[in-house]
């Protein structure tokens, strides 16, 4: 399994494949221990004299022939990573390569390639899983038309494209669209469909199916509706319609990621399909809708136009995340969605940029590409597109996208191609903008203000801290959306976008009667850290008066963050903050979802990040204590109104997952979280006992855990839901994420030895380990018990599922922030992993990167 010397792959080394693939025909004879795969690949040489190099791993070669002629031993070289056929054995013109291999899906615990999940066959081929299915040029720039025949004694046999013929025990599928191998998919099992249809804008009727295990069919309605909404939205917003007769989605219990956009046959982690009010929270409903949309949108941004090589990953992922964010913001509340996205960006991407794993949106080298499906590629990749759109305007963006689809349909494209359509459609020079793709690190944007004779000047300075391999960086183009308010709360200068291109730059506004209060970086117009010395009073003013909803929230957030940072150092709660919160929650005109976001305190991780940014070593226990004190102070001061809100935000009637009622429940639970700090969990227990849906059940349970009153509730929850895998994941997750940090490592160890901890199931592993890592002070327990527990499990998982183990290792990425004692303990845990014989390439790359402190 392990390569002796893991190779570094470099963007600079790209070379086109020397053959074109004219057609691919695959036959699968499925059997758990010995599946046979017959591949017939029609190809044409493009460079005379080139060898034919095919990728292949964990394959047993049965036979290989060219144009019907069996290859002899001297015609090829077979290694454990591939099959290379000598040029002398190849015809000069088009030929057919036929191979047969044997694979063992049942023993495939890595869940890449063809594997089994509780009796059903399924595949995951992105990024490089197809090479575990058959010998093939497993690279995204090799596109081909596939026909597939599946043979198995199972009722449902699916693959990409349109179904063409079937009989008992077999089915044939033809995908008319050329595609790279990573979009191949096959599913076989005893499944049932929840079906519907969609008529495209040109009048074609498409059959839609959500395939699930028997018994789950009544939890598919929401996913089907989400798919229909996504299909319509892509027609309306981007003019893109679906291009096959059928669209299948399959829910799988064992899946490393969230979901996968295989052409015409999306495969989903069951937790992102199945939904019912009893088992699914509001947040999960929103996520399901967003992920269904995301994978559907890939049909154009990823499938019809794919990536030339894996360095271009953000070309499809950044763009598709941007599109799914636009979709959710149209389906629900735009401002609320923007705040949620910025919270995610800061929690995951800023954190990544600050630590040893920092890398560019388009990296220049990798060892294992699966390690680069990161917050930087995804979330920052989406932010970069948002900036482009702001710079060229809505109309320019639409023209550029039309040109992109026109020019590159059917191709494997690059970031250069992407930027060229913007340059050509809008006439803009994007040379400097390209640095957003090549330079890692989050720019710090400092601002100073000058006021003289009616002229107000903003002076910005940008600095990007060093990141691994990039000690210095040139200034970037930063779109800074700005508005100015007069001290009475009126907006005197409406939003305009300043384009910063220099390291230091001034922008002036003249003809003002009074010195204004600036509202900077409205809508979070660039992924930067804004540094501005503002008083608590000024932040409270913006929280009350800013016309930009994002910046209203941001003002409240920074007020809370500043207050918390001071409290960690021993200060009392900031009265300005306490009062501002009081005014906000009384503002009945504001959207409940927005008020809920404003009421939620910054998490401990966010406080740690903020402290580190200002040069303080964060103390996790002090942060935990300070946050608890502030929550209690807020509850004490505002108990009456919080209690009123808690009661008023009960939503009567049948459950609906829409933004309106979900916002009310969010506000209700935000109030409850504060009240539970002072009522001993009384209200949380009452809600837990009567909650009519999972959102409120789980919210109340979290409050009970925080209050140390959850023993009975946890036992009852388990008894009720022990047969439901997805709900039991929540049971593991919630009690660790909210546990008393002092006991969290011991609790984690106890839960890990619970018979229900099926650790080979990715969702269950993520629930327990992810829940524990989300307990900031618990994971960073001063004894080091958290680090060593976590490392033990990464070591155990690595040989079974290296992709998962490597992804979970990012819990360690913040170690350089902490005190010397914690640093030493975390480094020792990492060193223990690194020293392991037979460590996977995935994990080997991660621990090597993690071990290096950034600064």
Catalytic residues: 295
**Stretch (H or E) spanning 596:** helix 592-599
Binding mask 293-332 for ligand BES (x = CB under 6 A): -xx--x------------------x---x-----------
The strand order across the sheet containing 191-199 reads: 191-199, 205-213, 246-252, 265-269, 259-260
Q: What is the DSSP letter of 766?
A: I
CA distance 692 to 680: 22
Residue 324 CB, nearest approach to Zn ion (Å): 8
Considering the complex, state which of residue 295 and residue 352 has its C-beta at the smaller distance from ligand BES.
Answer: 295
Considering the complex, state which of residue 290 and residue 335 has its C-beta at the smaller distance from Zn ion.
Answer: 290
CB-based contact 477:512 (threshold 8 Å) = no
Stretch that binds ligand BES, among 252-260, 417-425, 646-654, 763-771 (CB under 6 A): 252-260
Q: Quick count: other Cβ atoms within 10 Å of Cβ 500?
A: 23
Residue 234 CB, nearest approach to Zn ion (Å): 14
Which residues share a beta bridge with 508?
457
Instruction: Figure out which of the listed residues 220, 260, 630, 794 binds ligand BES, where binding follows CB under 6 A.
Output: 260
Considering the complex, state which of residue 112 and residue 147 has its C-beta at the smaller distance from ligand BES.
Answer: 112
Residue 295 CB, nearest approach to ligand BES (Å): 6
CA distance 192 to 209: 9
CA distance 520 to 189: 55
Considering the complex, state which of residue 295 and residue 706 has its C-beta at the smaller distance from ligand BES.
Answer: 295
291 binds, among ligand BES, Zn ion, none (CB under 5 to 8 A by kind): ligand BES
Query: What b-and-e string marks burial along 308-343, b requiring 16 or more CB atoms within 10 Å of the CB?
Result: bbbbbbbbbbbbbbbbbbbbbbebbbbbbbbbbbbb
Binding to ligand BES by residue 674, rule CB under 6 A? no
Q: Phi and psi dihedrals of 167, rounded to 5? A: -155, -175
Q: Phi and psi dihedrals of 269, rounded to 5? A: -60, 130
Binding to ligand BES by residue 805, rule CB under 6 A? no
Residue 208 CB, nearest approach to ligand BES (Å): 19
CB-based contact 705:734 (threshold 8 Å) = yes
126 binds, among Zn ion, ligand BES, none (CB under 5 to 8 A by kind): ligand BES
CA distance 477 to 826: 37
Binding to ligand BES by residue 126, rule CB under 6 A? yes
Instruction: Figure out which of the listed residues 142, 193, 257, 567 binds ligand BES, where binding follows CB under 6 A.
Output: 257
Which residue's Cβ lies closest to ligand BES?
258
Residue 229 CB, nearest approach to ligand BES (Å): 15
Stretch that binds ligand BES, among 79-87, 113-121, 255-263, 833-841 (CB under 6 A): 255-263
Residue ranges in contact with Zn ion by CB under 5 A? 317, 320
141 binds, among ligand BES, Zn ion, none (CB under 5 to 8 A by kind): none
Considering the complex, state which of residue 317 and residue 368 has its C-beta at the smaller distance from Zn ion.
Answer: 317
Q: What are the structure tokens assigned to 691, written together?
A: 């909650």
Binding to ligand BES by residue 216, rule CB under 6 A? no
CB-based contact 651:665 (threshold 8 Å) = yes
Task: Give me the residue label for tokens 């922030």.
Answer: 817
373 binds, among Zn ion, ligand BES, none (CB under 5 to 8 A by kind): ligand BES
CA distance 261 to 297: 9
CA distance 766 to 258: 12
Q: Give residues 355-394 in contact with ligand BES (rule: CB under 6 A).
A: 370, 373, 378
Binding to ligand BES by residue 670, rule CB under 6 A? no
Q: How far from 257 is each of 268, 298, 346, 379, 784, CA to CA, in Å? A: 8, 16, 21, 16, 29
Determine the length of the chain.
855
Q: Give residues 275-294 in contact with ligand BES (rule: CB under 6 A).
A: 291, 294
Instruction: Figure out which of the listed residues 258, 628, 692, 782 binds ligand BES, where binding follows CB under 6 A.
Output: 258
Which residues form the interface with ligand BES (CB under 6 A)?
A: 126-127, 257-261, 291, 294-295, 298, 317, 321, 370, 373, 378
């Amino acid at each position: 399994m392990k390569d002796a010397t893991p190779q570094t792959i470099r963007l600079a080394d790209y070379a086109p494949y020397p053959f074109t693939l004219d057609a691919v025909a695959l036959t699968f004879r499925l059997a758990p221990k010995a599946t046979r795969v017959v591949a017939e690949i029609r190809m044409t040489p493009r460079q005379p004299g080139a060898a034919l190099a095919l990728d292949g791993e964990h394959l047993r070669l049965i036979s290989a022939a060219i144009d019907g002629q069996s290859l002899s031993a001297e015609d090829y070289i077979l290694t454990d990573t591939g099959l290379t056929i000598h040029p002398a054995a190849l015809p000069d013109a088009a030929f057919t390569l036929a191979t047969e291999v044997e694979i063992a899906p049942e023993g495939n615990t890595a869940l890449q390639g063809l594997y089994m999940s509780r009796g059903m066959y399924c595949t995951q081929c992105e990024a490089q899983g197809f090479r575990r299915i058959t010998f093939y040029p497993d690279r995204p720039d090799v596109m081909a038309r596939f026909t597939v025949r599946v043979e198995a004694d199972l009722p449902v046999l699916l693959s990409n494209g349109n179904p063409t013929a079937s009989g008992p025990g077999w089915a044939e599928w033809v995908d008319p669209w050329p595609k790279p191998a990573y979009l191949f998919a096959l599913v076989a099992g005893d499944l049932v469909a929840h079906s519907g249809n969609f008529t495209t804008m040109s009048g074609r009727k498409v059959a839609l199916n959500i395939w699930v295990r028997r018994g789950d069919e009544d939890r598919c309605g929401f996913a089907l509706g989400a798919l229909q909404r996504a299909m319509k939205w892509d027609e309306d917003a981007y003019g893109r319609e679906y291009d096959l007769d059928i669209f299948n989605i399959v829910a799988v219990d064992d899946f490393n990621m969230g979901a996968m956009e295989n052409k015409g046959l999306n495969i989903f982690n069951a937790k992102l399909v199945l939904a019912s009010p009893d088992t699914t929270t509001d947040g999960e409903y929103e996520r399901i809708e967003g992920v269904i949309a995301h994978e559907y949108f890939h049909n154009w941004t990823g499938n019809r136009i794919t990536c030339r090589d894996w360095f271009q990953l953000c070309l499809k992922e950044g763009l598709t995340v941007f599109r799914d964010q636009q979709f959710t913001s149209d389906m629900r509340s735009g401002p609320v969605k923007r705040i949620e996205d910025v919270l995610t960006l800061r929690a995951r991407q800023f954190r990544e940029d600050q630590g040893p794993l920092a890398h560019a949106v388009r990296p220049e080298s990798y060892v294992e590409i699966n390690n680069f499906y990161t917050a930087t590629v995804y979330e920052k990749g989406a932010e970069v597109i948002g900036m482009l759109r702001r710079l060229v305007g809505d109309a320019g963006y639409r023209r550029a996208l039309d040109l992109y689809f026109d020019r590159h349909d059917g191709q494997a494209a690059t970031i250069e191609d992407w930027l060229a359509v913007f340059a050509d459609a809008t006439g803009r020079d994007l040379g400097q903008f390209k640095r957003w793709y090549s330079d890692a690190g989050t720019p710090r944007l400092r601002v100073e203000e000058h006021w003289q004779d009616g002229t107000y000047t903003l002076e910005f300075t940008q600095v990007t801290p060093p990141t691994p391999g990039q000690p210095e960086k040139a200034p970037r183009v930063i779109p800074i959306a700005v508005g100015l308010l007069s001290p009475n709360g009126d907006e005197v200068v409406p939003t305009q976008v300043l384009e910063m291109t220099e390291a230091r730059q001034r922008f002036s506004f003249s003809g003002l009667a009074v010195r204004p209060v600036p509202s900077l970086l409205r809508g979070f117009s660039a992924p930067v850290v804004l540094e501005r010395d503002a008083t608590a009073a000024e932040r409270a003013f913006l929280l009350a008066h800013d016309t930009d909803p994002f910046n209203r929230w941001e003002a409240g957030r920074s007020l809370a963050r500043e207050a918390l940072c001071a409290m960690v150092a021993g200060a009392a709660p900031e009265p300005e903050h306490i009062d501002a919160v009081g005014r906000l929650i009384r503002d009945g005109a504001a959207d409940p979802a927005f008020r809920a976001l404003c009421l939620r305190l910054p998490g401990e991780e966010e406080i740690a990040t903020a402290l580190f940014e200002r040069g303080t070593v964060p103390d996790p226990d002090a942060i935990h204590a300070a946050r608890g004190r502030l929550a209690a102070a807020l509850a004490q001061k505002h108990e009456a109104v919080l209690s009123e809100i808690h009661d008023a935000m009960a939503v009567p009637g049948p459950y609906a997952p829409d933004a309106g009622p979900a916002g009310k429940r969010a506000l209700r639970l935000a109030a409850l979280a504060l009240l539970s700090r002072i009522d001993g969990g009384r209200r949380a227990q009452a809600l837990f006992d009567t909650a009519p849906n999972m959102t409120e059940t789980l919210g109340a349970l979290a409050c009970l855990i925080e209050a140390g009153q959850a023993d009975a509730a946890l036992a009852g929850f388990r008894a009720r839901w022990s047969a439901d895998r997805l709900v039991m994941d929540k049971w593991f997750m919630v009690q660790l994420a909210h546990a008393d940090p002092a006991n969290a490592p011991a609790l984690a160890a106890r839960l890990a030895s619970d018979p229900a901890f099926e650790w080979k199931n990715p969702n269950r592993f993520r629930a327990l380990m992810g829940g524990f890592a989300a307990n900031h002070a618990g994971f960073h327990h001063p004894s080091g018990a958290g680090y060593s527990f976590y490392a033990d499990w990464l070591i155990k998982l690595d040989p079974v599922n290296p992709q998962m183990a490597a992804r979970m290792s990012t819990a360690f990425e913040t170690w350089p922030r902490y005190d010397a004692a914690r640093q030493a303990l975390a480094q020792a845990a990492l060193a223990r992993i690194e020293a392991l014989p037979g460590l996977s390439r995935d994990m080997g790359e991660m621990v090597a990167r993690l071990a290096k402190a950034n600064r």
